[in-house]
Every structure is written in structure tokens, then in C-alpha cells.
Amino acid sequence: MTVPNDHITTPPDRPGETALYRFYDNSDRLLYVGITDCPRTRWADHRRYAAATWWPLATRVTVDWFGAREEAAALELQVIRTSAPLYNSGGAPSPHRERVPGERLCPRVNMERFREATGGGFQVPGRPWRNMDVAVAETIAEDIESGRLLAGAPMPSATELVNRFGVSVNTARRAVRQLVAAGEIEPRGSGSGTRYFVTMKRTDLADKQQGDEPVIEGQMGSQPLNGNDARAILGIVWKWIADANDGLGVDVGDLQHELEQAGYGPLPEAQGD
């Protein structure tokens, strides 16, 4: 989902230069600080991934241009450390270093969401320090292990992960790549049509075959579906609906393909007597 904002005007690109931008709300609170070589693309990401947090609150933006990206990045970090933007997650004070002069802890609404969603954030009792993407990946793996995410079910979209964990879309994508590498989820499709699903492991398949109501693998068939199958199918359908509402250009053919890839093909033709 994207959210328009009539208060914000996108400046034209300046080839070879990097923009440092600051978004403010109507009380002049600093919401978010960032750098980009292409404001149009970067702010399109904000319209989508910050739609449920700070983007609708923004009423003005300032933009300063720099000839060197390194210079813009250094000032971005300084602004985050000293001006306490509400929704930046990166660049915040770390317990592993001394605070710089003038630095103060950021309120960071996103960081509070991150800590809550991951059960402790960077540091969980009894575990070593972990990066944001690792914390997100481990939390999703726990969802899979506990059954909150069922085998064969679609993964939450990038937008859903951003809104749940309060992280950037790049952090969410790194977490997804870690889960793929660990065999917890698997990609289906290619390019912009790639979707991710919880891996069907051998134990999951054995459970399906030994259930009280057997299911014919690869078909919805004449035999009844169990509860896990029904939830997996609903998850695929609702994911398709969400993508359609986000304007991602999906159609019924995409839905059919994802159902078939998950092992839920069309009903077999009725047999004559």
C-alpha cells in the first residue's frame, strides 16, 4: 500500500550529487533523516514502507546537496546522533562505543517496535549481540518453529515485515535472504514475481500423510483438507489480495500458479459411474 502526501514535493535529481533530506511534522519534530542520489525513487519507497508510520505525518522536507556521498553520509550520521529523529533506526547510539559530544539518545519509535517484535532487540538474555536483520530472521524462524507460520504458507510481504519490526526494507530483505539460506523458506517464481513460502520439510509431509483426514499430495482432490492445508490456502489467497491492493500487477493467473506451486492444484474432474 502506498500513501500520498500533498505536503511533500519531490526535487529533481542532480547527477553526480547526493541529497541529505530531513522530514518534519506540523509541530516541527524531526521524523526521519536520510541520503539518496534519487529522491523520486527513495521517497516512493517511503510512501510505501512508511505508510503506517511517519510518512502521513510529514508536512515539510529540507534537502541539501553534496558533491561527495561520503560527506552526505557523515552529516546524516551526525544529525541522527544529535537531533534524535523519531523514526530512524540506524545510526543510533550503540552500547559498544562512547557517545560523541552533543549526542543524545533518540526516541526512535521504530526501535521500540523492533525491540517489542523481536523479544528484546539487539540483546536477548542468554544470547550474543545480534544485528537487526539477524534478529528479524530469528524471530520469523521462531514463528515457523512454533507453528505461527505454517509449512507451505506464504511469507509476509516486505511491507508487512517493515511495519511489524520497524526496520528498513533493506533490513527486511536481508532477513529473508538469511531464512532462504537456512532452508526455512523457499522462493518461487523469478524476478519481480518472486514470492517466498515456508519450506515443506519431511516432518511436515509425514504429518500430512499420517493425519486423520488424509490429503492427496498435489491436489485438493476428493478427500478432505486438514486445518493446516486450509490455513495455508487462505494465506496464499490473502497474500495475493494484498499484492493486488498494493498495485503490484498480479492477476488470477498468479494466484493459480502459487496455489499449484504450494501443492494445491485444481479439483479433479468428476468420474462417471
Instruction: Parse the chain into domains and list their residue ranges.
Output: 18-107, 113-265
Q: What is the pLDDT of residue 222?
A: 40
CA distance 160 to 1: 10
Q: What is the pLDDT of residue 201?
A: 67
What are the Cα distances from residue 19, in Å, to 8, 15, 61, 169?
A: 15, 11, 12, 20
Q: What is the pLDDT of residue 96?
A: 45
Q: Residue 55 has which C-alpha cell?
A: 510518512
> Domain 113-265, CATH 1.10.260.40 — does that match?
no
Residue of higher predicted confidence among 27 and 249? 27
Sign of CA dihedral 156, 158, 162, 168: positive
Residue 92 has pLDDT above 90, yes or no: no
Q: What is the pLDDT of residue 16?
A: 94
Q: What is the pLDDT of residue 14?
A: 94
Q: What is the pLDDT of residue 23?
A: 95
Residue 154 has pLDDT above 70, yes or no: yes
Confidence of residue 230 (pLDDT cuts 50, 70, 90): low
pLDDT, mean over the chain = 76
Q: What is the pLDDT of residue 28?
A: 94
With a pLDDT cut of 90, the percent of the chain lying above it is: 27
Give the Cα-Cα-Cα angle 71, 75, 81 (nearest 5 degrees): 150
Q: Domain 18-107: which topology?
A: GIY-YIG endonuclease (3.40.1440)
Q: What is the pLDDT of residue 265?
A: 58
Residue 13 has pLDDT above 60, yes or no: yes
Q: What is the pTM of this model?
A: 0.49
Long-range contacts of 170-174 (CB under 8 A, 24+ apart): 171/89, 171/132, 171/133, 171/136, 172/133, 172/136, 174/133
* Tens-place pLDDT, residues 101-147: 665 555 566 777 888 889 888 777 787 878 888 999 999 999 998 88
Q: Residue 179 has which C-alpha cell?
A: 531464512
Place of cell 550474543: 128
Residue of higher predicted confidence among 111 and 150? 150
Residue 225 has pLDDT above 80, yes or no: no
Mean pLDDT within 226-243: 62
* Tens-place pLDDT, residues 28-76: 999 999 999 999 999 888 888 888 788 999 999 999 999 999 999 888 8
* Tens-place pLDDT, residues 164-223: 888 878 888 899 999 999 999 999 887 777 889 998 765 554 554 454 444 434 434 444
